[in-house]
Amino acid sequence: MPASPEVTRLTDDRFASEALLAPGLVLVEFTATWCPPCRQLAPVLAGLARERAGALRVVALDVDEAPLTAARFKVLAAPTMILFRDGEPLGTLVGARSGRRLREDLDRMAA
């Protein structure tokens, strides 16, 4: 995923402290540099992070750089997104989607 000030890039070492131990909602995108749909999703996630700043934290984890975490959550495809609340997974989304659809899916999972 291209660098974005709105989306924090994580590693296996930082995943627990920055995603699982973070209070509130955290959207984790499991991504890869070789993944065209991930590149298409990057600006959507950056916009979502800006729009929902304070209510939702958006982080990205490259599956090639963080294979332990990807395996732990049984990520088999990129992009995969998992929404967490207070460290507990609420749901998983696989594949790129429009901003509108992503917002609808996240709102449904967080309700």
Closest CA to 26 of 97, 109, 96: 109
pLDDT at site 1? 47
Given a cut of 90, whether residue 6 has pLDDT beyond it is no
pLDDT at site 3? 52
pLDDT at site 28? 97
Q: Using CA atoms in the order 86, 90, 93, 98, what is the torsion angle rounded to 10 degrees?
A: -70
Q: Which residues does the annotation mark as catalytic? A: 35, 38
Please provide residue 105's backbone torsions phi and psi, each rounded to the nearest 5 degrees: -60, -45
Residue 25's beta-bridge partner residues?
56, 85
Output the average pLDDT for the chain. 93
Q: What percent of the chain has pLDDT over 90?
A: 95
Please provide residue 83's backbone torsions phi and psi, each rounded to the nearest 5 degrees: -95, 125
Given a cut of 60, whether residue 2 has pLDDT beyond it is no
Q: Domains in the chain, start-ordered, CATH in brackets?
A: 8-110 (3.40.30.10)
Given a cut of 60, whether residue 30 has pLDDT beyond it is yes
Residue whose structure tokens are 């989306």: 7
Given a cut of 80, whether residue 64 has pLDDT beyond it is yes
Exposed/middle/buried for residue 78 (C-beta within 10 Å: 0-12, 13-18, 19+): buried
- Per the model's pLDDT, the better-predicted residue between 5 and 109 turns out to be 109
Closest CA to 2 of 52, 46, 64: 46
